[in-house]
Amino acid sequence: MSLAHLVLFAGLLSLVIVASSSSSSPGSRSILRDISGENADQKDRAVELNSSNFDSVLRDTPAKYAVVEFFAHWCPACRNYKPHYEKVARLFNGPDAIHPGIVLMTRVDCAMKTNTKLCDRFSVSHYPMLFWGPPSKFVSGSGEPKKEKSEIVVIDDARTAERLLKWINKQTHSSYGLDDKKFENEHVRTNITDYKQISQAVYDIEEATAEAFDIILSNKVIKSSETSASFIRFIQLLAAHHASRRCRKGAAEILVNYDDLCPSGKCSYESSGGKDTLGSFPICGKDLPRGYYMFCRGSRNDTRGFSCGLWVLFHSLSVRIEDGESHFAFSTICDFVNNFFMCDECRLHFNDMCLSVKTPFKKVRDFVLWVWSTHNKVNERLMKDEASLGSGDPEFPKIIWPPRALCPSCYLSSDEKSIEWDHDNVYKFLKSYYGPKLVSLYKEKSVVGSKEETVSATAEDLTVATNALVVPVGAALAIAVASCAFGALACYWRTQQKNRKPRRSWN
């Protein structure tokens, strides 16, 4: 056994001890967040870009096309144009987007000195000036809008919302209307048997992660050493195994700074005297596009979304861990749901299922199958509840999953009434579905990005995607962050990490 593995083992052992001691007594919280968001209508929907976030936002967006409006805040015509632009942006951007994931609508204020070079890069000659193209083509590109073959073009007739949308419709061969109603859109896919759809879910788990973090912060639920330890363990799991690179980075940065942000497990939530708070470290980066639940998009405003994204996050974490971490991951997720998923019914039921596990998991296979079967138990219960109450999403009825059409080899018999699973094949299917399939789309994009990106050494050390490297570092980090009581060596290591911390955001 190598030193790294010993460190890993010690880290996990200690964390499991802390985990089990803090485990799972149901409290009395019952705050369910209104995920539709208050005052949603008053917010700008076009995404404000500047020289520091321009490339990262356009590189990471799931949208197929982008519109970039270059304007100047002093320009009266730009001010008058803003309501028109926002009218169109509301269709495509934000949590209430009617047609999400198609066009990212953005703006850049060229009157800001910091943006001068960026506006020069696109030879902006008047305000407002609008460009259209695939998002990735804007990234560190010269724009070259006048070149015939360039994929970035100037939108020449966009004086009103109607004209801009007409222009977009022409490019996308669509017929979007300014009066389109929420969720009456063709992008809600009810065919859950399409194997390829999972590739979109990486954006959903990013969003669910950010949403979970927002809920924790807005309800200020880290307030004891127990909740603090549970939070740290979950963040550690994310830092090592989240399917999204930017969430791994964000989680790692929180871990490195945790002692300062939450001394003795007491987090300060409101910033005072310019001091950083937990909120200063957005878990998946500050430029994460929001409102892109796609795999998890319901046909109604009040269905699916966050809770679906959370399930997909748990499944995607389960298939990424190693055997030795399986019980740690189990207790971490159980405690996370118990402490931070503020739906009392969900929490209590889930906690019962956690408590029914009497023997610690030793194999990742057992843990993956436990999450799967637990989810199916919830599906089975909800199938009945939703049928009698009519509270489910009519386009996404609960089913025992995966359906035969998605994984024929998961079934041993053809009897629909009493399903017999081939657990080896179910495991294989889950590993692939929530593993490489889930990130297939994302990977392509990050390959483009990684060429230009210079990521700090610390971030890379902590978040290298290969388990061989990341797990020992992650475990050591957890030992150090969880408490310096683990020994002088851990403290020394942690100090070293902090000294190496870059003074910049991860994105």
Footprint of ligand FAD on this chain (CB under 6 A)? 192, 296, 304, 307-308, 310-312, 315, 337, 345-346, 349-350, 372, 375-376, 378-379, 382, 393, 396, 401
Overall residue count recorded for the chain in this entry: 507
Min CB(331)–ligand FAD separation in Å: 14
Min separation Cβ 271 and ligand FAD, Å: 31
Q: Which is nearer to ligand FAD, 313 or 479 (CB)?
A: 313
Report in angstroms how near the CB of residue 304 gets to ligand FAD at its nearest: 4
Cβ pair 463, 245 in contact under 8 A: yes
Identity of the residue, 88 or 407, whose beta carbon is nearer to ligand FAD in the bound complex? 407
Nearest approach, Cβ of 26 to ligand FAD (angstroms)? 13
Burial code (b: 16+ CB inside 10 Å, e: under 16) for 319-329 equals: bbbbebbbbbb
Please give the backbone phi and psi of residue 67, each rounded to the nearest 5 degrees, phi first: -115, 130
As measured in angstroms, the least distance from the Cβ of 296 to ligand FAD is: 6
Residue with Cβ nearer ligand FAD (137 or 377): 377
Q: Output the DSSP codes for 127-174.
A: SSEEEEE-HHHHTT----TTSTT-S-EE----SSHHHHHHHHHHHHT-
Q: In the chain, what are the helix, strand and coil shares in percent, each to the nearest 5?
A: 55, 5, 40
What's the count of helices (H) and strands (E) in the chain, helices before strands?
18, 5
Shortest reach from residue 248's CB to ligand FAD, in Å: 21
* SS3 of residue 416 by DSSP: coil
370/493 with CB nearer ligand FAD:
370
Query: Tokens standing for 152?
Result: 């970035």
Which CB, 257 or 307, lies closer to ligand FAD? 307
Q: Shortest Cβ distance from residue 345 to ligand FAD (Å)?
A: 5
Q: Would you say 506 and 253 are in contact if contact means Cβ atoms under 8 Å apart? A: yes
First to last CA, the chain: 36
Asked if 398 and 386 count as a contact pair (C-beta separation under 8 A), the reply is yes
Give burial (CB, 10 Å; 0-12/13-18/19+) of 149: exposed
Q: How far is the CB of 198 from ligand FAD (least distance, A)?
A: 7
Measured from the CB atom, the residue of 162 and 344 that comes closer to ligand FAD is: 344
Minimum CB distance to ligand FAD smaller for 70 or for 372: 372
* Nearest CB to ligand FAD, comparing residues 71 and 293: 293
Helices 225-241 and 3-21: crossing angle, nearest 10°? 140
Q: What per-residue string of b and e applies to 16-42 under the rule 16 or more CB within 10 Å gives b?
A: bebbeebbbeeeebeeeeeeeeeeeee
Alpha helices (H) along 298-401: 306-318, 326-340, 344-355, 364-389
3-class SS of residue 75? coil
Q: What's the rounded Cα separation, in Å, for the pair 176 and 169?
A: 6
Cβ-based nearer residue to ligand FAD, 91 or 368: 368
Among 155, 141, 267, 168, CA closest to 216? 267
CB of 313 to ligand FAD, least distance (A): 8
Instruction: Compute the least distance from the CB of residue 288 to ligand FAD, in Å.
Output: 20
What's the CA gap between 210 and 208, in Å, rounded?
Answer: 5
Asked whether the beta carbons of 20 and 331 are under 8 A apart, the reply is: yes
From the number of C-beta atoms within 10 Å of its C-beta (0-12, 13-18, 19+), residue 214 rates as: middle
Among 225, 98, 86, CA closest to 160: 86
Where in the sequence numbering do the catalytic residues fall?
Answer: 75, 78
Residue among 15 and 312 whose Cβ is closer to ligand FAD = 312
